[in-house]
Chain A
Amino acid sequence: MKIVKKATAGTLESGDVYVELSPSDSGNEIELQSAVLLQFGDAIRESAQDVLRQFEVENAKLKLIDQGALDCVIRARIETAVLRGKEA
């Protein structure tokens, strides 16, 4: 899936994650800020890459501001951002 416009999903509430997805021309790049970075940073990056792979997103900049969201929430927010930012 090609990301053609900037898209966002989620909120900055505790237990949620705010996702910003924008087009790029140099592969995927993930920027992560998290309240639980030390405990779950690797797991969050892995899930993010997994969702991008699943939707065949290859050129996108993904910014995550995580407030301790559960894995299912993180995946759902990224999926929503992908569907909002893809070609019509």
Chain B
Amino acid sequence: MSKVVKTLREAIELAGLKDGMTVSFHHHLRNGDFVLNMVMEQIAALGIKDLTVNASSLFDAHTPLLEHIKNHVVTKILTDYMSAGLGHEISRGVMEKPVEFRTHGGRPADIALGRTPIDVAFIAAPTADSEGNCTGKLGKSACGSLGYAFADAKYAKKTVIITDNLLDGTLSEPSISGEDVDYVVAVDAIGDPNGIVSGTTKITRDPVGLIMAQTAVKVIEASGLLRDGFSFQTGAGGASLAAAMYLKNVMLAKGVCGSFGLGGITGYMVDMLREGCFRSLLDVQCFDLKAVESIRDDPRHREISGARYASPWEKDAAVNDLDVVILGATEVDTDFNVNVHTDSNGFIMGGSGGHSDTAAGAKIAMIIAPIMRARLPIVTDRVGCISTPGSTIDVLVTQKGVAVNPARTDLRERLKAAGIPVRSIEELKQIAEKITGVPKKPPKGDRVVGEVYYRDGTLLDSIYNVPV
């Protein structure tokens, strides 16, 4: 019996979707994704209500969700990241039930454990065959890795593949195997290729960012971890990418051959692989076209699942073997807690993604951030939302010096010995406040609009509505 059905509507009906169930989506098509919106539109047209949406991330492309929230088609959201367009409305209180935020490791863990069961998974697949074998590496909407969708396909009661490149024959090297797939639907386009590879994947030219990146690499050199077998992850932010560029030069000059580069992969990490800085790349998500080409053509560039990447219960989760991860922050407090969920006014504009997973696993979790953004100091007494616990953060790198977590006296001594300007985190706060003045705390509402679950499933913090 063929799994191919003619329309999305038919697939939704065949999958038996009913009021109160849970549907899931993955975010490898990023802000270029069409699939979540087209599925939700059909669900709404069928009159199904009271659904839970479990999406690995939500972008501004998904703002039509607001209409489905208003009409009670969607009454609950679980996600690892929510960009500002949607986040602002959630913060204003448009949903009755709080959004549950998880991490990229916690999400597949909770799906596997049955804590967050999925009734129907809708998986956008750039290429698929009629059996439902699919891959992100081929097709006009190629996005590379499909890592975050593995848990959805495996554990959902029904799995629907939506593709804009349905092969006649059999796909020889699928990422997701047809054995987990119930239905396959062909559509004209699953996404906009420009949005799929969009994002902050350009190296900064801001001198402050470059100074921070250079300091970050000095910290890595001084840490003693930069030797053969070194493993590394960095984000796609401008300063993080600049750090990767400087790090590459140091590794090549010293002849260091690392073991693996991890994470969301950019072209800069691909360059490091090609030039011999790493033996492999472990890729849960591709950020740009160069990464997509590399994962398709280079067998050393391997696709991994979200669980293999970061699940707290996975024995060989890659984050546990990380030497250094470079991360960003909207705020850091004097206990080294990091906020990546809310902005300075308390509006939701992000989420953990793999932030707290990698921080927990890596030997050195490094935050790179300027001491102030416009007039707002980066270091506060208490962050507006704890996304990553300070106990897992080792060092904060700014353009005015480096603060080491007091628990890491070993690291502090190493950095001092290398001549790196080490200051206390309170000092960095004071330096900024001398320039900016002391900011008043914006008022919080009294209703919880978001709950932040740590990777082990415990409630880490709550996000309150913003009174407007």
Contacts and interface: CB of A to CB of B under 8 A. Distances in A.
Contacts of B440: 38-40, 42
Given A15-B374, A68-B375, A40 B439 contact: yes
A49 interface: no
For chain A, which range describes its interface: under 10, 10 to 19, 20 to 34, or 35 or more residues? 10 to 19
A12 interface: no
Nearest to B436: A70
Contact of B376 (A39, A42, A43, A71): A39
A56 B442 CA distance: 33
Given A70-B435, A70-B436, A71-B437, A39 B442 contact: yes
Contacts of B194: none
Interface string B164-185: 0000000000000000000000
B123 to A, nearest CB: 39
A69 B440 CA distance: 16
A55 to B, nearest CB: 22
Nearest to B374: A68
Contacts of A43: 437
Q: Chain B contact residues: over half helix, strand or loop, or mixed?
A: loop
Contacts of B344: 36, 39
Interface in B367-397: 373-376
Contacts of B64: none
Interface string A63-88: 00001111100000000000000000
Contacts of B114: none
B195 interface: no
A3 B91 CA distance: 43
B375 A69 contact: yes
B421 interface: no
Contacts of B345: 38
Given A43-B437, A70-B435, A70-B436, A38 B443 contact: yes
B374 A40 contact: no
B435 A36 contact: no
A54 interface: no
Contact of A36 (B374, B441, B443): B374
A17 B441 CA distance: 22
Contact of B373 (A38, A40, A68): A68
A43 B345 CA distance: 17
A14 interface: yes
A35 interface: yes
A68 B376 contact: yes
A35 B440 CA distance: 13
A71 B439 CA distance: 12
Contacts of A38: 345, 440, 442-443
Nearest to A34: B375
Nearest to A66: B375
A39 B374 CA distance: 12
Given A36-B344, A38-B345, A43-B437, A67 B442 contact: no
A85 to B, nearest CB: 25
Given A70-B435, A70-B436, A71-B437, A40 B442 contact: no
Nearest to A67: B374
Contacts of A15: 374-375
A20 B345 CA distance: 26
A14 B376 contact: no
Interface in B323-352: 344-345
Given A70-B435, A70-B436, A71-B437, A40 B443 contact: no
A69 B375 CA distance: 6
Minimum-distance CB pairs A-B, first 8: A68-B374, A39-B439, A38-B442, A68-B375, A15-B374, A36-B375, A39-B440, A14-B374
10 contacts: A14-B374, A35-B374, A36-B344, A36-B375, A38-B345, A38-B442, A39-B344, A39-B442, A43-B437, A68-B374
Given A14-B374, A68-B373, A68-B376, 18 more contacts: A15-B375, A36-B344, A36-B375, A36-B376, A36-B439, A38-B345, A38-B440, A38-B442, A39-B344, A39-B375, A39-B376, A39-B441, A40-B439, A40-B440, A68-B374, A69-B374, A70-B435, A70-B436
